[in-house]
């Protein structure tokens, strides 16, 4: 990046947001390694290859992204809504990571049936929690009801998509970097919004790719929601509609695959994943 474009990257705040997200993410990751809340055992998992990994990257990226969004230049209301949406998505994912990891039920129907019988599953928490957070963010960021609805689908669907990709080391983190790059390069409010998840993802890329840690539901949902917010900041109704349609299609495909028989539990990460669209996957980073 050179010339006027390079100067714009620095002067419009993208560089600050990018660096801030990376620094905050690394700081939280290091703090969790030194003193894991609830003990180290609570944050250990076994990945698809049978190797031990930690869940530290999840809270680290969620908090790093939220802090960067909150501190970014721009309208205070948009920054506050963005940070709260990222935290809500991460919190719903954390509930599933830490409280519902052993639940092997698949598909939104199973979780809704459990809820109808009075059982609150991790999948139901994510289905309503992340979906509700996305719709609330859309209602604040867009005035027209149709635009607000599309924005909510994009935020929740993006959270789902990143989580869906978190099946092998480096895949979800790499996807965040690739999907966030166009918005980051474009500049403006959308560029600053994209800088937060890109910076946080870059901070854990090496550890995630080396299978030392993983995003889990916490990090995948938080980063995905942040990417969705950058899409909302960048596009009008037509662009939001196109993104929403693509994300719903991805959810449908994921739902069908999620219903197919999977490998034995010992070959999996050990964390169940229900997307905002109701798709259960098994994380494998």
Residues 58-73, mean pLDDT to the nearest whole number: 96
Backbone angles phi, psi at 106, to 5 degrees: -120, 145
DSSP 8-state code for residue 45: E
Average model confidence (pLDDT) across the chain: 84
Which two three-digit tokens encode residue 260? 């197919």
* pLDDT value of residue 111: 59
pLDDT band at 47 (very low <50, low <70, confident <90, very high): confident
Which two three-digit tokens encode residue 187? 């500049």
Residue 220 has pLDDT above 50, yes or no: yes
Give the DSSP H/E element, type plus range, for residue 280.
Answer: strand 280-282
pLDDT band at 283 (very low <50, low <70, confident <90, very high): very low
* pLDDT value of residue 158: 97
Over residues 139-184, the pLDDT tens digits come to 999 999 999 999 999 999 999 999 989 888 999 999 999 999 998 9
Percent of the chain at pLDDT > 70 equals: 78
* pLDDT value of residue 258: 63
Rounded Cα distance, 154 and 135, in Å: 9
Residue 187 has pLDDT above 70, yes or no: yes
Residue 274: Cβ within 10 Å count: 32
Question: Which range among 16-25, 90-99, 108-117, 266-275 has the greatest average pLDDT?
Answer: 16-25
Residue 214 has pLDDT above 80, yes or no: yes
pLDDT band at 275 (very low <50, low <70, confident <90, very high): very low
Rounded Cα distance, 148 and 4, in Å: 34
* CA neighbor of 62 nearest in space, from 83, 29, 87, 27: 87
């Amino acid at each position: 990046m050179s010339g006027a474009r390079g100067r714009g990257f620095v002067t419009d705040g993208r560089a600050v947001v990018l660096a801030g997200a990376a620094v905050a993410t690394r700081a939280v990751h290091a703090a969790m390694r030194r003193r894991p809340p609830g003990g180290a055992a609570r944050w250990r998992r076994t990945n698809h290859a049978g190797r031990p990994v930690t869940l530290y990257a999840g809270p680290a990226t969620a908090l790093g992204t939220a802090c960067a969004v909150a501190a970014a230049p721009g309208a205070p209301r948009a920054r506050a809504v963005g940070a709260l949406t990222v935290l809500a998505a991460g919190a719903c994912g954390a509930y599933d990571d830490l409280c519902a990891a052993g639940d092997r039920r698949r598909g939104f129907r199973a979780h809704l049936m459990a809820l109808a019988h009075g059982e609150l599953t991790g999948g139901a928490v994510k289905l309503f929690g992340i979906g509700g957070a996305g719709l609330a963010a859309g209602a604040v960021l867009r005035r027209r009801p149709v635009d607000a609805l599309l924005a909510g689908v994009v935020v929740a669907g993006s959270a789902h998509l990143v989580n869906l990709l978190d099946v092998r080391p480096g895949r979800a983190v790499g996807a965040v970097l690739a999907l966030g790059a166009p918005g980051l390069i474009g500049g403006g409010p959308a560029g600053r919004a994209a800088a937060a998840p890109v910076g946080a993802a870059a901070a854990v890329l090496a550890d995630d790719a080396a299978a030392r840690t993983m995003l889990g539901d916490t990090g995948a949902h938080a980063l995905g929601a942040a990417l969705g917010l950058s899409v909302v900041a960048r596009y009008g109704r037509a662009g939001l509609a196109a993104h929403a349609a693509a994300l719903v299609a991805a959810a449908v495909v994921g739902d069908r695959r999620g219903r197919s028989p999977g490998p034995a539990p010992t070959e999996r990460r050990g964390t169940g994943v229900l997307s905002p669209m109701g798709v259960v996957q098994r994380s494998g980073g």
